[in-house]
Amino acid sequence: MNRSRRGLLIGGMILAVLFLDRVTKLIALNTLSGRAAEEYMGGFLRLAFHENRGAMLSLGAELPESIRFLFFTVLVGLVLMALLVFVLAKRNLAMKDALAAALVIGGGLGNVLDRLFYDGAVLDFLNIGVDGLRTGVFNVADMAIIAGTAVFLLAPRGSTPANQGKVPEAERGDEAGPA
């Protein structure tokens, strides 16, 4: 795949995640804010609006605002930008890894944008589980981050695209090598 098509695919994935995340958060803000939790599928899915000022599971929510901004907005934003540059610059990165990174970048940017737009908070509204065994409250950006991380960690590792389909010289058996 040529570099421009690869860049368009990665950029398209990032934009798709950002779009879905933004739309769902705006719907949640307008329909769930200030209301009691709503349950669906026998209570398995719970919709409840929550402003999270910390990281996952509100970790760090009690830190001073300046520290939260530095870590959760500035540092995370810089790491996401570095990851984007890496993914776009590394030609032999497997496409599944590039798309996994795009999911993480899109989700991470969605949450960073929340922190910039909503006074340091991320808008969460989804919760799943059975009885007392439930997840923390999360959003579409979080799902993209988890999905991208899972693909990267769990997908089988193979050869890089630059080496795919090439047969090592020693195995070719043609007259290309010394006799």
Counting beta carbons within 10 angstroms of the beta carbon of residue 35, is it exposed (0 to 12), middle (13 to 18) or buried (19 or more)? exposed
| Strands ordered across the beta sheet of 122-130 | 38-40, 45-52, 122-130, 133-134
Alpha carbon distance, N-terminus to C-terminus of the chain: 36
Q: How far apart are CA 87 and CA 10, in angstroms?
A: 9
Q: Which of 21, 124, 131, 174 is catalytic?
A: 124
Q: Annotated catalytic, 124? A: yes
Q: Which of 97, 114, 131, 142 is catalytic?
A: 142
* Residues forming beta bridges with residue 110, ordered by sequence position: none
Q: How many CB atoms lie within 10 A of CB 6?
A: 18
Q: Annotated catalytic, 114? A: no
CA 149-62-72 angle, to 5 degrees, is: 40
Residue type, 90: K
Active-site residues: which are they?
Answer: 124, 142
